[in-house]
Structure 1
Amino acid sequence: MEYVKKCFVIVIGLIIATLTCYSFAQVAVESKAELVNVPLEEGAIISYADKEGKRVGSKEQSTYYRKLLKINGNGSYLIQDFFTDTDNKQVEPTVFTNVKDIYAFMVEDIGDIEGEYIQWFDNGQMELKGFYSKGLLEGVVTSWYSSGQKESEYNYKHGKLNGSYKFWYPDGKLQTDAQFLDGRLDGVVINWYCNGNKKEELHYSAGKLNGLVTRWFKSGEKKYEAHYKDSQIEGIESIWVKENNQLIKQEVYFNGATSQDVFVRYFPSGKKEVERHFKGNKLQGLSTSWYENGEKSIELMYENDVRNGDAVFWYKNGNKKAQGSFINNKKEGIWHYWYEDGKPEETCSVYDDNPVSCERWYANGNKKLEGTSILGKKIGLWKTWYENGMPESACQYKNEIPTCKIWNEQGQLINQ
């Protein structure tokens, strides 16, 4: 019977920690070759299996074969499996009680194991050792690599994982250290990368994440950090991502099981880059961005993912760039714009994202333009000026057709 590796998979929100353990189960799939249940005689070969533990009909198809060593008077059987090619033992003599199918290669289909169970590699190296009581694993279970290096060691009580669980890499470095209580993770779980750096550290209570969860990149930098309560994030979840070989920190504040309240992203320097507020996974309230020098870049107000309310934009030097309001994601009302030195550049009255009445200035403070539009179409009188302050044009618009006066920079009328 093949004692096959399985995995306990611990799902931790963004974290997946794989803890390797074992099961005695092999899935038995009937071979296309005819399977014959030979008479049960002590010392006889009673069945064959391929390398996957599937029962096959002949020695030529097989990787393993089984011998019936003894038929006990109490209805139990002593059986042993061997490697077909070498006749080396694959399993030590094993007692089965409550036998259902002595020919099967899936333990639960055979019956209950009683006593010590030992499994071997074909090279003669012990692969696994455990003990059964009334069909349930009891005590320490140990496995080895074919090289002889210990692979895992864990404890059972009445068929459930209970106590220390350890798993090692083939080179002997520790990969996993965990604790179980009555079949559930309980206490600290630590996983390491093969280079020896810590991969993650988790805290469990009665099978649920409770406390700090931390993950690291293979290079050693922190990758993830959050507090859990009953396997749900509580408070701030911090995530670090690598961009252009720099670590960028992001944070999400969780208030309850799934409600994101605040998202924060940081520059590599540690200064805030973005802070956004959420309600029901939709942008809600103030959203702020910063330049890396610490000066604000943008402030916007949101309602259900839609820009609604005051908006302010700044230059990197801290001076305002633009200010106005949004209604349903569209500019509305009076919008002001400035040059980087703080002097006014433009003021517009806006309706439904379209400028209505605008004034514009040069950087020296002289007026540049004034006029009125409806839905993007110019109406009425539009005036422009040269940077030196002299008038440039005066156009009267009717049905989008202008009638204009134009001057040169010296103030001389050049057409009418």
Structure 2
Amino acid sequence: MVYRNLLIVFVLTAGILSLKINAYGQDVDPDGYNKFYFDNGAIASEGNMINGKPEGFWKTYYATGGLKSEGNRKNFQLDSTWTFFSEDGLIESEINYVNGKKDGFFIKYADSVIISKEFYIADKKEDFSFYYYETGELKLKVPFIDNREEGIGFEYGKDGNVITLLDYKRGFIAKQERINRTDRKGLKTGLWKDYHDNGNMKSEVRYVNDKKNGYYKEYDVNGNLKRTLKFVNDVLEEEPDELRGPETTIKYYSSGKPKSIGNFKDGLAEGIHREYNQKGEITSSKLFYDGILIGEGIMDESGIKQGPWKENYLDGVLKAEGTYEDGKKIGDWVFYHQNQKIEQKGKYLKGEVPTGIWKWYYSNGQLLREENYRKGLRDGEMAEYDEEGALITKGEYLDGEMEGPWVYELGHHKEEGNYVGGKRHGEWKYTYVNGKVYFEGKYIDGEPDGKHKHFWDNGKLKEDGKYMMGKKEGEWKSYGIEGMLYLVIYYRDGVELKYDGVKIKPAHDE
């Protein structure tokens, strides 16, 4: 039993494999191995079918004969690793699937070099994704939770060292810290840190003029301190007296009341140093680490910060300044990059609750993001820019959730639409940089609904179909770049049932 006048070849559309059926006078065995051919006689695809549907391992080819893709289907769903090739035979991507959804690493290549490895669970980015320099070295390690950047990420130099710590919150960079840097002469300076593969710190040490100075600390994979060594001008100090506690130095007024109290370890100021007036009131406090001033203000006898404070990086450069009340930030605060340009600034209410306008800046001084807070939650307009000052994101929040119209500028296209309660809702439209429509469709409570259309950059329709409650329903049509219809798939409740109007079943007649 076979079908006649059907040509089945695989095409990649929107990240999933579909079937293409054209009249061409080729036999199809609905329960066996099939090969299909281009007009020029070259093989187009080959693989097994069960009940007229592709199952098992399949390959597709370019008309020139080169392998285009290969992979497995299980229970008619994409399964395990699919590999895609360019016409010159180079791997372009590898995607792992489970039950038709991306699950595992999605790896992309350029000239056989990996440029990204994104980890998916059930079609959503989770855990860490990795991005690489064109020469193959790791550039970024970015954490994801529920398809959105969240947590501590790392930027790497080409030498493999972490050069920036990136703190992501709700898909945005909330804070970044530059480490492992060199001065203009190429000499190591400031704090250097190394990390285990799981993200926990492996070691840390401070450099001055390319030489280790101070304590080198080493940690196990769980973050527990393993050992501490002391260096002076890159020379390891033999048997340092690490067990000896700091020596407390007290100076007195003539009345016998303390004038200042501070600890010293190995001759270096360590911990909190306080100064007092004749009444015994604290007039200033300074916080030291290995002799470096890392903070100054007022710290009461209970160790709680009060009043105006300045906080420094571990190399002594100003990091932040503002006011504390009972150990919590309050009022206006300014945070600085290590080059002393402003990193972010904003205001806190009592209890360290952000309020009002907050601004973030790149290290070149260019505005990165501006947003408003109310009662600790994003509320009101938000705008984000690239390092050249071009707008890349704009929208509004209401009680911490995206609300109303939003715009995203994503390089090769722009996205515009509305959110309600943090979910896409209503009409959304994408446009190419040439102004032509890329996509238009509707969402309800974050789920696609109704008619959705995709277009080529020449304005021709690429794909259209209907969603019902987030699942494809009815006819979905695909078109070539010149506008010719080449594929019709019929869906019911998100499941493919028919191809070009033909229900694929074992034939009853020859």
Q: Which has the higher strand share?
A: 2
Choose between structure 1 and 2 for higher RCO, CA contacts under 8 A separated by at least 6 residues.
Answer: 2
Larger radius of gyration: 1
